[in-house]
């Protein structure tokens, strides 16, 4: 895996999580607003997080990124191979996860940008065939958000399983991509 990888597009950038990011990530992760929609809702300690970071830093089957908008870290996105033992570069099925930590950007259209960027990366660079995700049934906002991007419900339940193929993603994200890719005014003048 390439070290310190940076992805840019749709007005945001994604850079791989570094040790210095851990306090902010922990603060977001333990925020009740965010935690309520996590599969595991227990608070994480500094020690647990350090152990987690040591593990994921060496694991080619997952990548964790900080989301930056206008030079501010606003959230985190991650991808994990859904095929046991396969690194992301060989995985046909990948599961992305995202949260916006900064409250002012949670109910904002910018929340689509990191998802578009990571989805492009998964389909176009990593060449995966399908994205899958699980959404808690009480998280209607996340479900609506994913359905807008072309995800289909595969299995309803307390934990709703959804999946997205490349064709559906291309079709349903086109307008949103165009909207979030306009040239800044200062570059047009």
Contacting residues toward another protein, per CB under 8 A: 11, 107-110, 112, 141, 144-145, 148, 175-176, 179-185, 188
Pick between residue 50 and residue 108 the one whose CB is nearest to another protein: 108
Element (H, E) at 115: helix 112-120
Phi-psi label, residue 116: left if phi above 0, alpha if psi -120 to 50, beta otherwise:
alpha
Nearest to 173 by CA among 99, 123, 103: 123
**Minimum CB distance to another protein smaller for 25 or for 74:** 74
Residues in Cβ contact with 88 at an 8 Å cutoff, skipping those fewer than 6 apart: 1, 60, 61, 62, 63, 79, 80, 81, 94, 126
| Closest CB to another protein among residues 152, 181 | 181
Tell me the closest approach of the beta carbon of residue 158 to another protein, in angstroms. 22
- C-beta of 127 vs 182, nearer to another protein: 182
- Which residue from 142, 82, 134 is spatially nearest to 115, judged by alpha carbons? 142
Tokens 């593990």 correspond to what residue? 55
């Amino acid at each position: 895996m390439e070290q310190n990888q940076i992805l840019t597009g749709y007005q945001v950038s994604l850079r791989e999580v570094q040790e210095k990011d851990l306090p902010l990530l922990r603060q977001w992760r333990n925020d009740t607003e965010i935690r309520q929609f996590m599969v595991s809702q227990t608070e994480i300690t500094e020690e647990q997080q350090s152990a987690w970071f040591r593990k994921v830093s060496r694991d080619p089957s997952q990548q964790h990124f900080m989301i930056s908008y206008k030079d501010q870290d606003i959230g985190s996105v991650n991808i994990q191979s859904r095929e046991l033992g396969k690194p992301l570069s060989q995985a046909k099925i990948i599961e992305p996860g995202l949260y916006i930590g900064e409250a002012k950007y949670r109910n904002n259209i910018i929340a689509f940008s990191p998802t578009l960027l990571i989805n492009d990366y998964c389909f176009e660079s990593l060449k995966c065939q399908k994205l899958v995700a699980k959404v808690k049934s009480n998280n209607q906002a996340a479900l609506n958000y994913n359905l807008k991007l072309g995800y289909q419900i595969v299995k309803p339940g307390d934990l709703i399983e959804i999946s997205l193929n490349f064709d559906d993603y291309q079709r349903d994200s086109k307008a949103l991509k165009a909207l979030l890719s306009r040239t800044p005014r200062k570059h047009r003048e």
